[in-house]
Structure 1
Amino acid sequence: MKKWLALLCTILISAFSVAYAQPTWQIDLIVQVNTSDQPGALRLLSITPASVTETPLPGAAANAVLTDAILSPDRRWLVTTFYPFDTDRATPLAIYDLAAGMCCTFIDIPSSTSDGGQFALGGFSPDGTQFTASYVGVDYSSFEAPFAGGILTIDPQNGVLRDFSFIGTLLDYFEAPPAWAALGEWGEDGLIRFAPNCYACEPVYNGEYWLWNPISDEIRPSSGEFFDLYFSDLLPGTGEVLYTARDDAYPGEISMGYFPTANVVRYLTDSGQLAFDTINFTPVVYFNANDIAINGRARWIADGHAALIEQTTDERWFMFDRFGAASVHMVPLRSRFIAATPDGWVAFLPDSESFPSGRGRIVHFTVDSALRVTERTLTALPAHEAFHVVAQPLIGVGTAMVPFVSVAPPDPSIYAAIMAQNIPSCPDTLPSRLLIGGVGRVTPGAPNRLRDQPNTQGGIIGMI
């Protein structure tokens, strides 16, 4: 049995190494530059291991920031959304015909409430001939029903095909219709995934998708398909998910907030485990006792054989693979992950930590089976307002995978020692003896007494 396991590991590691030998991939970015001669101009960057092709896009939106972009599977149609700097009024959707080099067909919000609003893009249909967008219009003079929104299906050649307005259509499920929706993919089954969402509030970030049939207008409020917009990363070829989470069975940074600072990464065999009643029972596959705060998220890299902790406030990006090996790679602060590749990943590295939207480099990181990293600059990026990934490699396809090695919580004594090293302290004060998960004791006598020593013999100097 041991020989068979050893042989299996050898085969998998060999496949891991071979995957790097012949990498073929393409990444497409839409960049909104912010240079003195071209403020707000758009560029399409097509990046491969061998070349970078830059295509200027006409018709940039003035005084607006690029908020989202999608590209059709055949790379003919590009759709963009913007948010204006000086008004709340929604900027129209812009549809580019890249094959003809033409800009643009514009789509306005189909709502009479025009004081403000916004678009959110979904994805293209399986045949690439249509795409989805959610919209919301705002009427600031109305206190009872200021929002009017819904979902559009749009033919990039001919305009809006269907307008599924939420006004009057979802009253069987809500007392008041939702403002608009967070959109998932348009599936091979012809159904559009969406999640009813509010506007100018705390948005939806995870849950179960609803389904809309754009032909029959049938609505299904339950799909059995779950999503997470901020803390998870899906491996397309296998359906496996990495989920960045907080688990108090492991030492974690003491922090305030609606979402406590993450300290672990969980491994899910499929996105169905993103359901609330199952996600906390999935195994922990990453915990770092020397860095208990994860200020970012876990990303798949290297065709799904390994993972990367993208840190937003740290120069250290940690890596770990399915067999429990780990390493660290240093990058400038405020670096941004762009996409995984078969042999590693691609990221943006800023020239100056003080200007995260300024000049920088797009770098290809290759990683071998020992998690050794090699950097290669692909192209420079000028000062820019924003960039969005519109196409990236489909990784994890046709490759044998094994589950990650799980990481057990530390023993209580080790837990307490790690927490003691990470508890913030003030000058000339005693360190706190209150530890999450530690043993506490209430001293006898009247409650809330303040003593000059950390014991019952200390003199009483006050009460709370």
Structure 2
Amino acid sequence: MMRLKWLQVIFIALLSASAGFGAVSAQDALWNDVWVLAKSESNTGVVVRLSSTGVTQQINVPGGAFIPGAVNEQYVLSPDGRFLVIASQMEGAENTHPVMIADLQNGTTIQANIPPAAAYDLGGFDPAGTRFALSYVSYIPTPAPDTFPYNGGIAIIDASNGALLIDLPMSSNPITPDEFTPWAFVDEWRADGIRFIGSCFGCEPAFEGQWSIWNPDTNEFTAESGEYFSYFGTWLPATNELLMRAHRTNYPYDTEPAYFPRFNVVQYYADGVLPSSSELSGAPVVYFNPNDIDLSDGNGLFWINGGDEFIVTSQTDTTWIATSRFGGQRFVTVPADSSVLAGVNGGWVGTQPNSTGGTSIVSYTLSGGGYQPQVLADIVGSVSLLRAPALGENVAIPPIGFTVIAPPPPDEFNAIMLANAPQCEGASPSRLIIGQLGRVTPGEANRVRTAPSTNAEIVGAIPGGAIFTVLDGPVCSEGYAWWFVEYEGILGFTVEGSGTNYFVEPVTP
């Protein structure tokens, strides 16, 4: 009864938000066929099909499709919208739940005939919509000495009955057959085959690279497809243009340590070829925001408005910036905790909290020089994108590039760095900049210690007036701002100052 009641609430909310429910034609809409999944905390769901004018279709997900307590859920929808596949993991363990296949047409749910593994990666459906691909990786219970303790492969599943049709062990593929790539990331399944890239498990995965192709029908492999993927970039399908977040030291950047250098710019690659590390510094920068110099955590990068613009989103800032390939930027104010689901013709589709504690699906459409929001539906629960139309079909070929943003001059660079520098409570406001030079103020020498503490061992001293290199910092300790520096081969921590009295100062270029 609770399930039926929740579905009724969703139905009413969607119906009230849709003008002409079920009767919207392609001619009436600016865009069509954005599919999303609305899922409640009680593990019930509705697949919703949207156009720019509202909800055009909704289908209840049959019972048993969602497993209570599941985390890291992945979804893939068949091209005709009939089958919804759900893969998930157990909370707090590197083990998976069974892969579930919901038949949205017949209202049934079955389990795929593939045993639980340590992890799955869902790929796409074949063009006919009858089979789907997923990769799996499992532990080897008793591995041989000095061997990698995992194995895995790519499985092809019949969506109608869950049967395992093909099981390709990663050790048998001719592209990455070594034991250190027991897993694979899988992507679209097109007419020529499945995009995949070999990856390890339990170590650093493949963050970017060139897709290989496996055709399950012919068992043919293509090592280099000329198509790329990156967690840090986004491609425009019709033109293959690439936008990529990057770290450039000639633009102000966040100095907080991170696994990857913190991204501070967006770079543009007209040919869509993923650059090598040595080429990253030479690409044109088309986005830099001095008020947000860390694009690493919580920032999104999306093609929007049919591919004529891109937008950089933020989880902490309610002003987003859209950049046009025809020049100029648009500043868009959004509610807190908003997100983008997909770019569409004329703008984008996203989510935002509503006044009832639920989630609104919203379209932002370019009108009168700015993006105007329209609520398409109000949802009880979470919203996940299942599929959206490819962008860029109306972009001119060759495409018009984006305006290049030059690095700021030294004075402006330093001002931005200082404005964004971390500050230590009770200490002098920090003025040093990582990667640049500092100087001990005239007078006494500054001690250099092994750790940021007045009790740490002294390894040397920097005389008054001497110049040193700032390597890292500041570390806040004992009411001081400590910087990790190098002076004539001496490495260690030195204090910036006390109160309003500075012991060191920046050396301006």
The TM-score bracket by the shorter chain reads 0.7 to 0.9
1:388 maps to what in 2? 384
2:358 maps to what in 1? 359
Map Cα deviations across residues 298-347 of structure 1 (whole Å, 9 max, x no partner): 21111111111111232222222123312322323332211112111111
Structure 1 pair 152–450 and aligned structure 2 pair: CA distance change class (3 A): closer
1:134 has 2:135 as partner: yes
1:198 maps to what in 2? 200
1:6 maps to what in 2? none
Partner of 2:294, secondary structure, is coil
The gaps in structure 1 that reach 5 residues or longer are 1-20
Offset of residue 275 of structure 1: 4.4
1:9 maps to what in 2? none
State the one-letter code of the partner of 2:37. I
Offset of residue 289 of structure 1: 2.0
Map Cα deviations across residues 241-262 of structure 1 (whole Å, 9 max, x no partner): 2212221110112211112332
1:80 maps to what in 2? 86
Q: Provide the C-alpha distance between the structure 1 equivalents of 2:306 and 2:36, rounded to a whole number of angstroms.
A: 20
Partner of 1:333, secondary structure, is coil
1:331 has 2:307 as partner: no
Q: Provide the C-alpha distance between the structure 2 equivalents of 1:87 and 1:251, rounded to a whole number of angstroms.
A: 40
State the one-letter code of the partner of 1:30. L
Task: Give yes or no for contact 1:68–1:388 (8 Å, CA) kept in 2.
Answer: no
Structure 1 pair 205–325 and aligned structure 2 pair: CA distance change class (3 A): same
The gaps in structure 2 that reach 5 residues or longer are 1-27, 450-461, 467-491, 495-509
Partner of 1:272, secondary structure, is coil
Question: Highest Rg: 1 or 2?
Answer: 2
1:181 has 2:184 as partner: yes
1:309 maps to what in 2? 312
Task: Give yes or no for contact 1:131–1:154 (8 Å, CA) kept in 2.
Answer: yes
Aligned counterpart in structure 2 of residue 61 of structure 1, from 38, 47, 67: 67
State the one-letter code of the partner of 2:168. F
1:300 has 2:303 as partner: yes
1:32 has 2:39 as partner: yes
* RMSD over equivalenced CA pairs, Å: 3.3
2:23 maps to what in 1? none
Q: Provide the C-alpha distance between the structure 2 equivalents of 1:325 and 1:125, rounded to a whole number of angstroms.
A: 41
Offset of residue 23 of structure 1: 0.8
Structure 1 pair 24–166 and aligned structure 2 pair: CA distance change class (3 A): closer
2:5 maps to what in 1? none
Q: Provide the C-alpha distance between the structure 2 equivalents of 1:70 and 1:122, rounded to a whole number of angstroms.
A: 7
Q: Which has the higher contact order (CA 8 A, sep 6+)?
A: 1
State the one-letter code of the partner of 2:211. Y
Task: Give yes or no for contact 1:180–1:199 (8 Å, CA) kept in 2.
Answer: yes
- Aligned counterparts, 1:106-185, within 5 A: 106-109=112-115, 116-139=117-140, 142=143, 144-157=147-160, 159-167=163-171, 169=172, 173=176, 175-185=178-188
Partner of 2:205, secondary structure, is coil
Of stretches 213-222 and 321-330 in structure 1, the one that deviates more from structure 2 is 213-222
Offset of residue 173 of structure 1: 4.9
Given the two structures, how large is their TM-score scaled by the length of structure 2?
Answer: 0.74
Offset of residue 426 of structure 1: 2.4
1:348 has 2:354 as partner: no
Task: Give yes or no for contact 1:134–1:182 (8 Å, CA) kept in 2.
Answer: yes
Partner of 2:43, secondary structure, is strand
The aligned length equals 421
Of stretches 219-228 and 282-291 in structure 1, the one that deviates more from structure 2 is 219-228
Task: Give yes or no for contact 1:232–1:297 (8 Å, CA) kept in 2.
Answer: no
Given the two structures, how large is their TM-score scaled by the length of structure 1?
Answer: 0.80
Q: Provide the C-alpha distance between the structure 2 equivalents of 1:187 and 1:457, rounded to a whole number of angstroms.
A: 66
1:456 maps to what in 2? 464
Offset of residue 200 of structure 1: 3.6
Partner of 1:320, secondary structure, is strand
1:11 maps to what in 2? none
Q: Provide the C-alpha distance between the structure 1 equivalents of 2:291 and 2:96, rounded to a whole number of angstroms.
A: 46
Q: Provide the C-alpha distance between the structure 2 equivalents of 1:170 and 1:368, rounded to a whole number of angstroms.
A: 51
